[in-house]
Amino acid sequence: MTQENFSAANLTHLDRQGQAQMVDVSAKQPTVREAIASGRVRMQADTLAAIQAGNAPKGDVLGTARLAGIMAAKQTSNLIPLCHPLPLQKVEVQITPDPELPGYQITATVRTKAETGVEMEALTAVSVAALTLYDMAKALEKSMQIEAIHLVSKTGGKSGDYAVIGNG
């Protein structure tokens, strides 16, 4: 859709007066929907090695970050205005070391059977996992960078499937 095609009539998050509103999804049928998001935390090789060895001052960096991402997905509607609270059936957060960065790749997969999708939940899970990883390791390095948080794919719903082509 090009910019000239946008109007209050086809922007679902605006009412007739142009004010923000929560989209009414009550007429939609629940379907299985899944979203995958990813991002990364770049750091010095020494920081990566210390985390991998379990030598971070705050303890279990990766376990805490993974749990924080899962918890965050469940709280998305409290964090992002106009998001619907959803019954999440699956939230998985993977944090994988990447010596080439150096740092960690973070991937979140979220699934529900509902009237609307879980893209925001997957993106929130990755964001909070990355922020928690930073918080847990900032005593080792304050210059870590959180990068490239994006939607990798989504399935289900009226808009159909979506997947990043290439490296996205």
Residue 83: C-alpha distances to residues 79, 80, 116, 142 (Å): 8, 6, 9, 32
**Nearest CA among 140, 116, 134 for reference residue 45:** 140
Q: Specify binding-site residues for substrate.
A: 82-84, 120-121
Cα 167 from Cα 23, distance rounded (Å): 32
**135 part of the active site:** yes
Q: Specify binding-site residues.
A: 82-84, 120-121
For residue 112, with 0-12 CB atoms within 10 Å meaning exposed, 13-18 middle and 19 or more buried, which class applies? buried
Catalytic option among 15, 46, 135, 161 = 135
**Per-residue tokens: 114:** 């509902």
Cα 98 from Cα 123, distance rounded (Å): 20
- Residues noted as catalytic: 135
